[in-house]
């Protein structure tokens, strides 16, 4: 009788452990699916941003503001998904920067926003204009000092 109770308890605990392991595995798979989704979403969003042409300044401003709010909310809700999203956007922006030159016409708002994803999207660097080299030197003159002393 005692052995039967022990076997029954062990069987019950084993069943619970198996169910919990399956739930944990399903949770891991769900997280991987979410990360993959946000990687794909980031790539799609970046490609759309690169081709986006607003009809008015107000429309353009609203577009970039909405995008920033989306990213801010994603960062608050799920940091891993946010990092995957931004990493995939960085890849797209980096690739675009290497192939895009004067034939690409982007707005000032684009350059301001794109700098977050790829550091060389500074408008001066992006257009590949030569930088002005200047040297600053400081020249100072002082009047001679005269001291009188008594012994």
Tens of pLDDT, residue by residue, the chain (151 residues): 777 777 666 655 555 655 454 454 444 456 667 888 989 999 998 888 888 888 888 888 888 899 889 989 988 998 989 889 988 988 888 888 777 766 677 777 777 777 666 655 555 444 444 556 667 777 777 777 777 777 6
pLDDT on residue 44: 92
Question: Own/partner pairs for 66-74, CB < 8 Å, 24+ apart?
Answer: 67/113, 68/113, 74/38
């Amino acid at each position: 009788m005692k052995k039967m109770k022990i076997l029954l308890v062990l069987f019950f605990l084993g069943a619970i452990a198996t169910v919990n392991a399956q739930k944990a595995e399903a949770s891991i798979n769900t997280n991987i699916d979410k990360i993959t989704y946000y990687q794909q979403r980031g790539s799609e969003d970046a490609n759309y941003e690169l081709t986006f042409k607003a009809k008015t300044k107000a429309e353009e401003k609203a577009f970039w503001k909405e995008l920033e709010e989306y990213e801010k909310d994603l960062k608050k809700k799920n940091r891993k998904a946010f990092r995957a999203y931004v990493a995939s956007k960085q890849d797209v922006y980096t690739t675009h920067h290497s192939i895009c030159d004067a034939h690409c016409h982007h707005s000032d708002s684009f350059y301001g926003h794109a700098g977050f994803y790829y550091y060389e999207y500074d408008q001066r660097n992006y257009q590949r204009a030569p930088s002005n080299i200047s040297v600053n030197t400081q020249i100072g003159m002082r009047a001679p000092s005269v001291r009188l002393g008594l012994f």
